[in-house]
Every structure is written in structure tokens, then in C-alpha cells.
Amino acid sequence: MTPHRQTTWKIASSAELRWQVWEDQSVVYHWASGDTHLLASLAAGALRCLEKEPATVEQLLALLPPSSRDTIASLLDELNDLGLIEPVVP
């Protein structure tokens, strides 16, 4: 898990995302890697927020359905591992 909860996250520079959305699930195609990911609604919501603007865990907590800080932090770590998001470098 990322040790810095104040990290600001953004969509990865190389990530051109293509979406297909159903009621409670979304599929996102990551153009750069050629990978397709099935996302639960919380993960899709976080990615959609980050498409609009970079955000921290705390900012996402205010924008997404009720979740714990640990849940959001873990989700961001997973999205980072998939190459969909990256930390903003000051």
C-alpha cells in the first residue's frame, strides 16, 4: 500500500482509456498496454473522477460512495499497478 496518503493521483500519461459501461460494472480498455479491465463501480468511479482532475485519497472519499480510506488507498494502488493511474510528480 502507498505509504503517502497525501499523494495526488492522475490518469497515467500513457493511458488512453476506452469505456463500456453497464449498470454496476464497467470495462475499460487501456490502449497503451492493450489490456481490458473489468471494474466494479467504485473503481470505475475513481477512474472517472481522475479523468476530470487529479485527486488525493481524501478528495476521492468526498466524491465517491461511502468507503474507508484504506479501501480507496488500496484501490488506487491496484489501479497504479495496472498502469491506469500514476502519482502526480511535483
20-54 pLDDT, tens digit per residue, is 998 878 999 998 888 999 999 999 999 999 999 99
Question: 1 pLDDT band (50/70/90 cuts)?
Answer: very low
Q: Please tell me the distance from the alpha carbon of residue 60 to that of residue 37, in angstroms, as a whole number.
A: 21
Could you tell me the maximum CA-CA distance found in the chain, to the nearest angstrom? 37
The answer to whether residue 65 is domain-embedded is yes
- What is the model's pLDDT at position 5? 65
Q: Please state the domain count of the chain.
A: 1
Domain contains 2: no
The tens digit of pLDDT for each residue in 50-83 reads: 999 999 999 999 999 888 999 999 999 999 999 9
Within a domain: residue 26?
A: no
- Within 8 A by CB and 6+ apart from 83, the residues are 12, 14, 15, 30, 32, 33, 35
Domain span holding position 67: 9-15+42-87
